Amino acid sequence: RATGLTGDEFANKLLDERQIAVMPGESFGASAAGHLRIAMTIEDEKFASALTVLCTFATELAQNAAHV
């Protein structure tokens, strides 16, 4: 939410820029807006690495949005 992007925009940007696929919460109804759905279908080490990348990505976007 702090990124200023919709769930769709965030998911697409994450896929385009970091090659990590997630489902935007809006895909599951309005009450899920602002959330992501993540499938844990890879090895634990890859999943942990992807979460680190995702968190860093979200933090960077939020910081950039705060400076606009």
Question: Which 3 state secondary structure label does DSSP give 23?
Answer: strand
Q: What is the per-residue pLDDT for 59?
A: 95
Which residues contact residue 3 at a Cβ distance below 8 angstroms, ignoring those fewer than 6 apart?
10, 58, 61, 62, 65
Per-residue pLDDT tens digits for 15-67: 999 999 999 999 999 999 989 999 999 999 999 999 999 999 999 999 988 87
Residue 1, pLDDT above cutoff 90: no
Q: What is the per-residue pLDDT for 68?
A: 66
Q: What is the per-residue pLDDT for 67?
A: 78
